[in-house]
Amino acid sequence: MLLEIKNLGVSVDGKTILSGLNLNIGKGETHVLMGPNGAGKSTLVNTVMGHPQYKVDKGSITFDGKDITHIPVDERAKAGLFLSFQNPEEVPGITLESFMRYSRNAVTGKPVKLFAYKKELKDKMEGLSMDTSYASRYLNVGFSGGEKKKSEILQMLMLNPKLAILDETDSGLDVDAVKVVSKGVEKYKNSDNSLLIITHNTKILEYLHVDYAHVLMDGKIVKTGDSSLIDYINKSGFQQLAV
Amino acid sequence: MKPARKKTKVKDIDRTIYDFKDKVNPSFEVKEGLTPAIVEEISQKKGDPEWMRRFRLHSLEVYNKLPIPSWGPPLDGLNMDDIVTYIRPKAKMSAKWNDVPDDIKNTFERLGIPKAERESLAGVGAQYDSEVVYHNVREEVRRQGVVYTDMESALKSDKYGPLVKKYFMKVVPPQDHKFAALHGAVWSGGSFVYVPEGVKVEIPLQSYFRLNAPGAGQFEHTLIIVSEGADLHFIEGCSAPKYNVANLHAGCVELVVGKNAHLRYSTIENWSKNMFNLNTKRAVVDEGGTIEWVSGSFGSHVSYLYPMSILKGEHSRMEFTGITFAGKGQSLDTGAKVVHMAPNTYSNINTKSISKDGGYCAYRSSVKIMPDAYGCKSSVSCESLMLDDISGSDTVPVMDIQNDDVEVGHEAKIGRISDDAVFYLMSRGISEQDAKNMIVTGFAEPVAKELPVEYAVEMNNLIKLEMEGAIG
Amino acid sequence: MDLALKEINRLPVPTWNLLGINSADINGVPAVTAPYKGEYLSELPEGVSISDKTVYAPEIDTGMGADAQKFSENNKNCGATLRVKAGVKADKPVFLRYRIDGKNSSVVDVTCIVAEEGSEVTVVENYSSEGGAKGFHGGLTKIYAAKDAAVNLVQVQMLGDGCTHFDNVGGAAEENAVVNILQAQLGAGEAYAGCKVKLLGTGSRLNVDTIYFGDKKRKIDINYVAEHTGRKTRCDINVNGALMDESSKTFRGTINFLKGAKKAVGHESEYNLLFSRKVRSRTAPLILCSEEDVDGQHAAATGKIDPDRLFYLMSRGLSETDAKKLIIKAQFQPAVEKIPDPSIRDAVFDYVKERLDSVESIS
């Protein structure tokens, strides 16, 4: 098992958001997480990534055989976790290119060969239909919503994590952009790499093979199934599953 | 969970490379304190022309009448009577590096001069305590008619003496404030630059100041005249080793920017942390001319520094880019002043400040638009970053607008490093320390990128070591 | 014999003396204040009691400073202390209407508003004068908002040019209390206003909305200070003004984050429209900060009307002057709409209109 979440309880500012949540993701699997607004989807992924605002009251998170419940976020990134943010931060003064280089260096622990790196970055940007001049712009500063999401996918491709969590990466994108992003995700996905996708939209899923779908409600996973669950939810809504 | 919330300390600048000292070995030293007799003595030893002798004595009178500023950081610990105003090193002015005495040369070698010159500077002037010990201008620059010499030579020269007399402390009169008056009385050393009409100096000129004797004052005078249509970039750098006695720096910089001329004046100040830096810098800009200030303040115990631009000619412009970084024991009160005297003039002030370890930064500015200066535009943006809760930061801007045909904008922000930004960067595998350093570097970047790359000596040690070092 | 009040409206951190913005002096303060004979207090809402005793509140400082405060306290000739009982939400505003006329040449009102825990009250202070009456108004208003209380203070000043006026406000807000202040400084030959509110309790808030209008040779001098002491405190200060003829204005606005004011937010903005070559507008927006975890922002913009906006309005058939008057009115509208009484709202618009009508041309 790559990611194993056991009996997880999480609160924010003293308010319980998740309780008794269990979720397992195996190597090479693609999972989809659905749920109504406010169910706790973003809480879950931020907790998995280790945002200090989210307090783990009980349970554990194991990743790649290692208990990561209490380790800092950068250690999780080094372990092979990646989160594509719903609202990526704008960080003035650091270019996308040099940031990715630092980041790759930090994650792999190996020096990055400049020439090869530049070429790889350029190729990957082109693959995502990104204007390559964005490489020398400050990290996400002044990027449109679509460009920010592409920048996240680009970073995912450059870091090649073991598990990538996409938090509504497709929201706010037009049809073409969804296609481009999906293609990028497709490139990342192989028999070793795993995906956890949070979406309101099934467009992005058309390009991917989904192994499992989960419904998160009232702070826990209430239903798990195969991709047919997605169609079911789309037709019938979440209320059918309310406990 | 146990979050990664332990406080990260941004490292203090490694100042040890500036802290080496030479044995004080002066050939001449005046008594402590300031009297007309001392001023006369300085004047006599320097062989001033008569007008300068009178100017010094007049300035001393003004000095004795003016109060110390009633605003700004406290000047406790600064006792004028304790400060030796004039220390002349043994060396005579030299044009050959080899002629500079070894101990002084060692100091400059350690600071990277004239290495910097060898690399890419058009000329270097080095001042050691009160006197200029070394001046050299590249041959091709000299052939263009550019004059770069020490103030005293210029003062006494038949050719440039009249120019000095015409401009000396006209841009900054001694009546301006107490320390300008002090400067007028005891000034010593400094640079004189004259760029003839239409001459574009392609590579920067640089001067370097250094205080070595404990309790000494440095009062260098810089006068730069950029004639019509000419273009110059001048770089000034300062440092001082650390002593326990308070040191005073009350220099004066006067810049005369001619019609359609362009001058960029870059400064990195990294005085040691016992220095009172009460420097006055001012530019007068003629029609269509441009003054650009790039200013980095990192050192000193107390700073009062507000380069001022007088936009005298129509369509003249000023741009100010500054960064101030105050750490433990530092109160750095910095900013800029501009007076729009003529119509259709333009000013833009962009500053950043960082406070940490109990340091205090103040951004202070004044934008004044005179009654007949129509069609002026001015924008001010200042941003302050607090790195901990024992430091302080004040923003004190003033705008005084005296007609309606203007566009004046002001923006100020103060805050801390955003937790979300730190989390985002860390989610890409970067440590908390590095993430914070990156954000601070990014904050300073708009200013850093304006600084000349060649001017690596200071900035590499300051910005890079301080913030980027851990990232590289 | 007239007196002078020196160095009022002081900047909390002084700057270059030459700029003349560190403080102001009020000349022409009457040495002796005649009694005020007019009726000024409206019918009180239920749960609000009144006394004529001034509340002793040493923890409250005022925006204009101790001298102006003492002057009002020593020369008081009208005003009231209003106390709102805990939990009472006053069902109507308290109106205090003062008028300078032939019989009453000075108004020195001292008003204290004490809102007990969980209470809410709106107090409207309205100053006007008769025709060309000469006179003086020097008022002091102290506000104390206990835990969860809300105090709305509306001050509307529409005095004639023969009057000298000052409004001195000081306040303190405890946990989760809200102080809303609306000032319309529209008239008086010389108008001074100061306001300092201490946000003491966690989560307390201050909102200030100010409009000012300068014409002829009138002078306006304002000093606001929001002092953040408590955690998660917030202030929003919005100032909108217009200056024409040879009028002048000085605006000082300070957000002061004291140590301990973690997660405090302070925002301030000033927008100032200028309509004559001879106006003078001075602004000093300060942020003072001794705390790391805060968010402070300032924005100020001064200049002429946006030419595109003007063009748009004129393309709909308005003359340039009318279009500009409309823009000034629009500039004031959001603040004026917050005045709880329609008759005062209308009076404000009429007053501004009248002043604008006497402006022959707007450059």
Question: C318-335: per-residue pLDDT in tens?
Answer: 777 777 887 888 888 888
> Which residue of chain A comes nearest to B417, CA vs CA?
A91
> Which residue of chain C comes nearest to B383, CA vs CA?
C297
Residue B291 has pLDDT above 50, yes or no: yes
Min distance B420 CA to chain C CA atoms (Å): 13
Q: B103: which 2 tokens?
A: 């101990």
Alpha-carbon distance of C181 to C178, in angstroms, equals 10
Q: C285: which 2 tokens?
A: 């927006």
Taking alpha carbons only, the member of C297, C42, C362, C19 closest to residue B410 is: C297
Alpha-carbon distance of C81 to B333, in angstroms, equals 44
Alpha-carbon distance of B333 to B343, in angstroms, equals 30
Instruction: Provide residues of A within 8 Å CB-CB of chain B.
Output: 49-56, 69-70, 72-74, 76-78, 82-83, 85, 88-89, 91-94, 99, 102-103, 106-107, 138, 155, 159
**Mean per-residue pLDDT over chain A, rounded:** 90
Residue A96 has pLDDT above 80, yes or no: yes
3-state class of A224 per DSSP? strand
Q: Is the sign of the CA dihedral B460, B463, B469, B471 positive or negative?
A: negative
C chain contacts of residue B387, beta-carbon cutoff 8 Å: 292
pLDDT at C37: 84
Higher pLDDT, C174 or B95: C174
Q: Are C263 and C232 in contact (CB under 8 A)?
A: yes
Distance of CA B181 to the CA centre of its chain: 18
pLDDT at C23: 95
Q: Are B374 and B85 in contact (CB under 8 A)?
A: no
For the segment B203-227, the average pLDDT, to the nearest whole number, is 75
Q: Are C48 and C94 in contact (CB under 8 A)?
A: yes
Residues B1, A99: C-beta atoms closer than 8 Å: no
Best interface-test mutation with B: which of C223, C281, C308 has the largest number of B CBs within 10 A?
C281
Helix axes C307-314, C320-336, angle to 10 degrees: 110
A chain contacts of residue B426, beta-carbon cutoff 8 Å: 72-74, 77
pLDDT at B238: 61
Alpha-carbon distance of B458 to B452, in angstroms, equals 11
Residues near C33 by beta carbon (within 8 Å), at least 6 away in sequence: C75, C77, C106, C108
Which residue ranges make up each domain of chain B?
16-468
Per-residue pLDDT band at B469 (split at 50, 70, 90):
very low
Which secondary-structure segment (H or E) carries B155?
helix B151-156
Residues C297, B413: C-beta atoms closer than 8 Å: yes
* pLDDT tens digits, one per residue of B423-442: 999 999 998 888 888 888 78
User: Between the CA of residue A92 and those of A143, B352, B415, B446, what are the distances in Å?
Assistant: 12, 13, 15, 9
Alpha-carbon distance of C31 to B98, in angstroms, equals 78
> Which residue of chain B comes nearest to C256, CA vs CA?
B394
pTM: 0.83
Alpha-carbon distance of A188 to A161, in angstroms, equals 9
Alpha-carbon distance of C293 to B389, in angstroms, equals 7
Chains in contact with chain C (at least 3 beta-carbon pairs closer than 8 A): B
Alpha-carbon distance of B249 to B297, in angstroms, equals 14
> Which residue of chain B comes nearest to C362, CA vs CA?
B404
Min distance A125 CA to chain B CA atoms (Å): 18
User: CA B106, B112, B114: angle at the middle one, nearest 5?
Assistant: 85
- Highest-pLDDT range among A12-16, A98-102, A120-124, B242-246: A120-124
The strand pairing partners of C85, in sequence order, are none
B chain contacts of residue C293, beta-carbon cutoff 8 Å: 389, 416
* pLDDT tens digits, one per residue of B375-428: 999 999 999 999 888 999 999 999 999 999 999 999 999 999 888 999 999 999
DSSP calls for A115-140: HHHHHHHHHHHHHTT--GGGGGSEET
Residues B412, C283: C-beta atoms closer than 8 Å: no
**Mean per-residue pLDDT over chain B, rounded:** 80
User: Between the CA of residue A94 and those of A143, B93, B437, what are the distances in Å?
Assistant: 14, 45, 11
Alpha-carbon distance of B373 to B338, in angstroms, equals 13
pLDDT at B240: 54
pLDDT at B373: 95
Residues near B385 by beta carbon (within 8 Å), at least 6 away in sequence: B352, B353, B354, B355, B414, B415, B416, B417, B440, B443
Residue A218 has pLDDT above 50, yes or no: yes
pLDDT at A194: 95
Which residue ranges make up each domain of chain A?
3-241
For the segment B328-342, the average pLDDT, to the nearest whole number, is 95
Q: B459: which 2 tokens?
A: 């900035």
Residues C294, B407: C-beta atoms closer than 8 Å: no
User: In b/e form, how buried is each residue of B449-463, taking b as 16+ CB within 10 angstroms?
Assistant: ebbbebbbbbbebbb
* Residue ranges of chain C with per-residue pLDDT less than 70: 1, 359-363
C chain contacts of residue B409, beta-carbon cutoff 8 Å: 299-302
Residue B183 φ/ψ, nearest 5 degrees: -60, -45
Residue B295 φ/ψ, nearest 5 degrees: -135, 125
Is the preceding peptide bond at B114 cis, omega within 30 degrees of 0?
A: yes
Q: Which of B120-134, B199-213, C12-26 has the lowest mean pLDDT?
A: B120-134
Residues near B93 by beta carbon (within 8 Å), at least 6 away in sequence: B131, B132, B133, B134, B135, B150, B152, B153
pLDDT at C126: 93
3-state class of B462 per DSSP? helix
Per-residue pLDDT band at B13 (split at 50, 70, 90):
very low
Min distance B418 CA to chain A CA atoms (Å): 10
Higher pLDDT, B247 or C126: C126
C280 → closest Cβ in B384, B396, B401: B401
Alpha helices in chain C (DSSP H): 66-75, 307-314, 320-336, 342-358
DSSP calls for B357-396: TT-EEEEEEEEEE-TT-TTEEEEEEEEEEE-STT-EEEEE
Q: Are A32 and A205 in contact (CB under 8 A)?
A: yes
How many Cβ pairs within 8 Å bridge chains A and B?
Answer: 97
For the segment A119-126, the average pLDDT, to the nearest whole number, is 94
For the segment A153-159, the average pLDDT, to the nearest whole number, is 94
CATH number of A3-241: 3.40.50.300
Which secondary-structure segment (H or E) carries B289?
none
The position carrying tokens 């390559």 is A132
* pLDDT tens digits, one per residue of A127-143: 999 999 999 898 898 89
Alpha-carbon distance of B39 to B188, in angstroms, equals 11
Greatest alpha-carbon pair distance for chain C in Å reads 58
Min distance A69 CA to chain B CA atoms (Å): 7
* pLDDT tens digits, one per residue of B140-182: 778 889 998 888 889 999 999 999 999 999 999 999 999 999 9
For the segment B171-195, the average pLDDT, to the nearest whole number, is 91
A93 → closest Cβ in B3, B430, B443: B443
3-state class of C147 per DSSP? coil
pLDDT at C360: 61
Q: Are A155 and A103 in contact (CB under 8 A)?
A: yes
Instruction: Provide residues of C within 8 Å CB-CB of chain B.
Output: 11, 13-17, 19, 21-22, 243, 257, 259, 262, 274-304, 363
* pLDDT tens digits, one per residue of A165-216: 999 888 878 888 888 888 889 889 888 999 999 987 777 788 788 999 999 9
Min distance B246 CA to chain C CA atoms (Å): 25
Chains in contact with chain A (at least 3 beta-carbon pairs closer than 8 A): B
Alpha-carbon distance of A97 to A120, in angstroms, equals 11
Residues C298, B413: C-beta atoms closer than 8 Å: yes
Q: What is the ipTM of this complex?
A: 0.90
> Which residue of chain C comes nearest to B414, CA vs CA?
C296
Residue B11 has pLDDT above 80, yes or no: no
Higher pLDDT, B470 or B79: B79
pLDDT at B28: 47
Per-residue pLDDT band at B460 (split at 50, 70, 90):
very low
Residues near B329 by beta carbon (within 8 Å), at least 6 away in sequence: B273, B301, B358, B359
Question: Residue B103: what residue type?
Answer: D
Alpha-carbon distance of B258 to B262, in angstroms, equals 8
Residue B89 has pLDDT above 60, yes or no: no
